[in-house]
Amino acid sequence: MKQVHVHSFSNLMLLLVLSAATLSCAEKSTETISEPQRPNILFIFSDDHAFQAISAYEHQLADYAPTPNIDRIAENGMRFDRAYVTNSICAPSRATVLTGAHSHVNGHRTNGDIFDGEQITFPKLLRENGYTTALIGKWHLRSKPTGFDHWEVLPGQGHYYNPDFISDTDTGAVEGYVSDLITDKSLAWLDANKGSGKPFMLMLQHKAPHREWEKGPDHLTLYEDVEFPEPANLFDDYSNRGTAAKEQDMTIRETMQLDSDLKLWTEENKNKGSYNRTYGRMNDTQRAAWDAVYNPIIQEFQEQNLQGNDLVRWKYQRYMRDYLATIRSVDDNVGRVLDYLEENGLDENTLIVYTSDQGFYLGEHGWFDKRFMYEESFRTPLLMQWQGKIPEGTVNSDLVSNLDFAQTFLDVAGVEAPDRMQGRSLLPLMRGETPENWRDYLYYHYYEFPAVHSVNKHEGITGERYKLMHFYELGEWEMYDLEKDPMEMNNIYNHPEYDSIQHSLVDRFKRIKRQYGVIHPRNTP
């Protein structure tokens, strides 16, 4: 029998199989003892997908822009309402997923870092223990992927139309739309892997719906007639907040570009940003379909001469139409994958996870992008199904994060996690059995400053109700009461009525940093 490191849940499974095997051996001594059937793992990862844009989360956008296929995962399994990331930016989040370690441990603090592929990751451990592993889609870690039997990735951020793919053996552009192509390649790999006799672990990683939200040919007109509800704090003035919220560069009003972001390409502003990245790569048919939708929008915009808040409102509507239609293509493609698994009987023993590298602002605080430890970008969507193991249609509200995936996947595969990993297996939560000693705080640290969008470095902790943030280079603290102030509009740090809570949070913050081995940045406790 193949040697695997077995523990917890799988121990029990193994015992059952061993005793069944022992019984049948008594009758039929020539039969070999088989290992328990370990589950396949399908990790579907998107880029910048706000939980507010998944209808299973029942946000105010749900009725306007449903995601029926992603919702199937929640219906068949569990929706996590308090899933977060340790550092709300792309490459660092991916490094944390792979290593189960915070940025200061895996060395990947910003998008500018190069991932150390020598370090231990969960795909490597699964592969060493009998899994066949693949990664298809966005990678963004700059070094060559390690730990995969097969990989095909987009260079850097990748392109939406006719994107390039890089693999060990080949590189070049493929005609089509990126979300469809990543799915085609994933289904082809699953099909080719069918007879391998090994369980699979596939990381299917979408580029969409990353900026500049270029929707696919099937969804160009999808939301053109829809007027989306605005967030209540679209016109936030950042009073009662710190310097960082006031000085960021990620507002719909100032930062969002009419040409590059909203694709109002005219003769004068051609040849930059999305015009080159997207339109420049299209074939004639794709361009004709695109122009038929965008040319009238450009014309109408020019006639309107919008200013001030009216212009912000108009930009918000365009942003939502593009962003949500881009997501619809991810959703269709999730449907294709779920159908494939069902048609091939693979849904019975596959843990399916849908999540994103971080959340995103859909106009809350007047913003787009991420990076801040405020809820919209600190949180990430998380839905999981596993037939017979995760009860259907359930909701979990424990504090979980992208730090937990590595240990969760190792646990379901019966592989022991190395001590270096800093998360916890979600397996008990998936069964609906939260351990008594489940964590009551999460640690966060964002490092990418100075950089695009100008979000100051900060670290902090969040508990069930209170959040503490330290902008250590500014020497400023922020604290929020998420129960009374879920939109985080009122910094209560140093408010006398919260004195004792503040003391215990600061104390807790210091202890958590010691626990995770954070080397204290300057000016921090």
DSSP 365-386: GGB-S--SSSHHHHB--EEEE-
Backbone angles phi, psi at 191, to 5 degrees: -65, -45
Cβ-contact 2, 413 below 8 angstroms? no
Dist. CA 141–CA 143, nearest whole Å: 6
Binding window for ligand SGN (CB under 6 A); candidates: 20-28, 144-152, 206-214, 289-297: 206-214
Per CB under 6 A, 369 contacts ligand SGN:
yes
Residue selected from 41, 70, 90, 505 as contacting ligand SGN according to rule CB under 6 A: 90
Binding partner of residue 453 among ligand SGN, Ca ion, none, CB cut-off 5 to 8 Å per kind: ligand SGN
Instruction: Report the helix count and the strand count for the chain, using DSSP H and E.
Output: 14, 16
Backbone angles phi, psi at 486, to 5 degrees: -65, -20
- The secondary structure of residue 194, as a DSSP letter, is G
Binding partner of residue 375 among ligand SGN, Ca ion, none, CB cut-off 5 to 8 Å per kind: none
User: CA torsion sign, 383 to 92 to 206 to 327?
Assistant: positive
Binding window for ligand SGN (CB under 6 A); candidates: 208-216, 280-288, 383-391, 403-411: 208-216
| Residue 469 CA from chain centroid, whole number | 22
For residue 153, the minimal CB distance to Ca ion (Å) is: 15
Q: Is 151 helix (H, G, I), strand (E, B) or coil?
A: strand
Residue selected from 50, 73, 89, 282 as contacting ligand SGN according to rule CB under 6 A: 89
For residue 6, the minimal CB distance to Ca ion (Å) is: 35
Mark residues 449-488: x for contact with ligand SGN by CB under 6 A, - for none.
---xx-----------------------------------
Per CB under 6 A, 111 contacts ligand SGN:
yes
Dist. CA 302–CA 298, nearest whole Å: 6
Binding partner of residue 117 among Ca ion, ligand SGN, none, CB cut-off 5 to 8 Å per kind: none
In this structure, are strands 466-471 and 350-356 parallel, antiparallel, or unpaired?
Answer: unpaired
Report which residue type is found at 462: T
Q: Which residue is nearest to Ca ion (CB)?
A: 90
Dist. CA 469–CA 415, nearest whole Å: 36
Residues 29-58 that bind ligand SGN (CB under 6 A): 47-48
Indicate the residue among 208 and 282 with the shorter CB distance to Ca ion.
208
Per CB under 5 A, 90 contacts Ca ion:
yes
For residue 66, whether the previous peptide bond is cis, meaning omega lies within 30 degrees of 0, is no
Buried/exposed code over 156-178 (b: 16+ C-beta within 10 A; e: otherwise): eebbbbbbebbeeeeeeeeebbb
Indicate the residue among 4 and 95 with the shorter CB distance to ligand SGN.
95
User: CA torsion sign, 335 to 340 to 345 to 349?
Assistant: negative
Indicate the residue among 321 and 370 with the shorter CB distance to Ca ion.
370
Dist. CA 252–CA 363, nearest whole Å: 7
Strand partners, 462: 442, 467
Indicate the residue among 90 and 330 with the shorter CB distance to ligand SGN.
90
Binding window for ligand SGN (CB under 6 A); candidates: 65-73, 184-192, 205-213, 328-336: 205-213
Dist. CA 523–CA 259, nearest whole Å: 41
Instruction: Give every strand in the sheet of 466-471, ordered side by side.
Output: 442-446, 458-462, 466-471, 476-481
For residue 112, the minimal CB distance to ligand SGN (Å) is: 10
Dist. CA 451–CA 344, nearest whole Å: 46
Per CB under 5 A, 48 contacts Ca ion:
yes
For residue 139, the minimal CB distance to ligand SGN (Å) is: 11
Residues 350-389 that bind Ca ion (CB under 5 A): 357
Q: Which residue has the tokens 């964002």?
A: 446
Dist. CA 67–CA 10, nearest whole Å: 34
For residue 248, the minimal CB distance to ligand SGN (Å) is: 11
For residue 369, the minimal CB distance to ligand SGN (Å) is: 5
For residue 324, the minimal CB distance to ligand SGN (Å) is: 17
Residue selected from 212, 322, 404, 488 as contacting ligand SGN according to rule CB under 6 A: 212
Cβ-contact 161, 175 below 8 angstroms? no
Residue selected from 211, 458, 467, 470 as contacting ligand SGN according to rule CB under 6 A: 211
State the number of binding residues for Ca ion (CB under 5 A): 4
Indicate the residue among 38 and 211 with the shorter CB distance to ligand SGN.
211
Binding partner of residue 255 among ligand SGN, Ca ion, none, CB cut-off 5 to 8 Å per kind: none
Indicate the residue among 213 and 386 with the shorter CB distance to ligand SGN.
213
Residues 157-196 that bind ligand SGN (CB under 6 A): 157
Report which residue type is found at 310: D
Cβ-contact 159, 275 below 8 angstroms? no
Q: Residue 487: CB partners within 8 Å, gap ≥ 6?
A: 232, 233, 364
Binding partner of residue 369 among Ca ion, ligand SGN, none, CB cut-off 5 to 8 Å per kind: ligand SGN
Indicate the residue among 273 and 418 with the shorter CB distance to ligand SGN.
273
Binding partner of residue 212 among ligand SGN, Ca ion, none, CB cut-off 5 to 8 Å per kind: ligand SGN
For residue 126, the minimal CB distance to Ca ion (Å) is: 24
For residue 91, the minimal CB distance to Ca ion (Å) is: 8
Which residues of the shown chain bind Ca ion in the complex (CB under 5 A)?
47-48, 90, 357
Which residues of the shown chain bind ligand SGN in the complex (CB under 6 A)?
47-48, 89-90, 111, 157, 210-212, 273, 369, 452-453
